[in-house]
Amino acid sequence: MRSDRAKKGLERTPNRSLLKATGITDAEMKRPFIAVVNSWSDIIPGHIHLDKLAEAVKAGIRNAGGVPFELHTIGVCDGIAMGHEGMKYSLPSREVIEDTIELMIKAHQFDGLVLIPACDKIVPAHIMAAGRLDIPAIVVTGGPMLPGYVNDEYTDLISVFEGVGAYQAGKLSEAELARLESFSCAGAGSCAGMFTANTMACVTEALGLSLPGCATAHAVDAKKTRLAKESGERIVGLVEENLTPRKIVTRKSFENAIMVDMAVGGSTNTALHLPALAHEFGLELPLETFDTLSRTTPHLISLRPGGPNFMLDFDRAGGVQAILEKLAPKLHGDELSVTGKTLKENLKAFVVLNPKLHEKLISTLENPVHVEGGIAVLKGSLAPDGAVVKQTAVDSKMLVHTGPARVFESEEEAMEGIMEGRIQSGDVIVIRYEGPKGGPGMREMLSPTSAIAGMGLIDSVALITDGRFSGGTRGPCIGHVSPEALEGGPIGLVKEGDLIEIDIPNRILNLKVPEAEIEMRKASFVPLKKEVGGYLSRYQRGVHSANTGGIVD
């Protein structure tokens, strides 16, 4: 066992003495030491229940003959950080979390680890650590939040964000907005639609790193507690079998995960996180892979924000395993999972509990919601290295659009312009200097997109940024424009009134300015630099472009 390096032999007598100070017995000293890596905190709704899940995990570990040790990592709530400088710290926290897990696991020589993350950056950070460390590991994602219920319909956080724009446009009263604020977020769990956190949970299950059913089992559901306990039991088996993440996750596993992502209409942030995950697993996952698989993988279930259904509906209809079953003819069925079985073998145990809902919500390959998957990668003179859009959340009349640029140098400037009513139907909002380096930190633009949606302009106004969008964003919102403005990308050369061409079906994003004019602008271009300090200054020096996954040296 790896932990023997820290606890076995005469020379480790002092080490054992310290372990005994924690209450470890001589009998436990001979058993596998399992790290339970928990991102619990009081500030993030998606995490406030993870202490209870950790207790279930530890019970499972003890049941199977292991010794659990609980450790903690940090986490940023993107919703609370949204719309101000706090969001600059969200993406940068990903590598910090990964590094802290590595430090704790390597320093104490654990035999295996159970990862308990929830929410947007925390889930990919934990998986990146698993790939880097490559010791037996299993992931228990925290589970979705129940939807709220206001004015006789289900609501979620996006309802509140869009409510701000609706109030500003006079479509919602102050009292109605206050009701949305108070009753849309129902308690523990990650926000109730197929936003980034839940997309990443689905991707984790599709990669084979969590038990079947884990992604959509809700935070307050006893099913989640049972899965946590079963995961604790299973990690001991993984240690005994020496079945490590890199033996489970391969290039084909990533292709399976991307196909599931496409089928569920997941967040564009997967195009940022999955390449970073692959990098830590010693693999390459070019941005173009998403577009290639999107063209051949249909969209099978219509979930918030692009559709009417919530994660609760998806879970009752069968969750990720139901999608895997539908996609089976396209998938790599022989890829392993933490069960020790292949994807194909796991599906033999899948049972549809609610056949009518299953049939109603989950489409077939022959009759999908959309013929193509959720994400499209656009290229052109405005984005030579690519840009990303959730095409299944775009109204059909905005799939092809040309309009004048309304240029803003930050999210705050754009939000001010929107709230003051300076945006007109047909405009293309350009928000730049919000990329990984330029932000720094590549903020999500949920406040501007939601304000536009709430004002009723989401089907006539496009938004383009070298930053990124929340998984809760809908409409013609194109992010991850690469190269970014700070690095001299064409988005930095756009002037007010320039025509921008968007053609999502043909994957085109062009700045409709003569080449000679672009070259003149390049010659005199001086990027806007923001004063930064602390961790962000280090992050800015080491981070790479969005099309690489925003990996950090």
**Residues catalogued as catalytic:** 470
What is the layout of strands, in order, in the sheet containing 33-38? 67-72, 33-38, 112-116, 137-139
- 3-state helix, strand, coil split of the chain in percent (to 5) is 45, 15, 40
Distance set, CA 449 to CA 119, 165, 188, 473 (Å): 20, 9, 25, 6
Distance in angstroms (rounded) separating the CA atoms of residues 191 and 35: 27
> 396 burial class (0-12, 13-18, 19+ CB within 10 angstroms)?
exposed
**For residue 79, what are its two tokens?**
């919703």
Distance in angstroms (rounded) separating the CA atoms of residues 494 and 518: 9
Residue type, 497: G
Distance in angstroms (rounded) separating the CA atoms of residues 270 and 268: 5
Say whether 317 sits in a helix, a strand or coil: coil
**For residue 443, what are its two tokens?**
């903020």
Segment holding 62, helix H or strand E: helix 50-63
**For residue 208, what are its two tokens?**
């084979």
Distance set, CA 48 to CA 38, 41, 54 (Å): 11, 6, 11
Give first-to-last CA distance, the chain, whole Å.
31
Buried b (16+ CB within 10 A) or exposed e, 409-428: bbbeebbebbbeeebeeebb
- In the numeric block, the tokens 């009998």 are attached to 27
* Largest interatomic CA distance in the chain: 77
54 CB-near residues (< 8 Å, 6+ apart): 36, 38, 40, 70, 116, 228
DSSP class of 437: T
Q: Residue 308 phi/psi, 5° resolution? A: -90, -15
Distance in angstroms (rounded) separating the CA atoms of residues 147 and 330: 32
Q: Residue 387 phi/psi, 5° resolution? A: -150, 160
Distance in angstroms (rounded) separating the CA atoms of residues 60 and 77: 29
Half-sphere exposure of 434 (CA within 13 A, CB side): 28
Distance in angstroms (rounded) separating the CA atoms of residues 278 and 119: 19
- Bridge partners, 68 (sequence order): 34
Say whether 372 sits in a helix, a strand or coil: coil
Distance in angstroms (rounded) separating the CA atoms of residues 542 and 478: 25
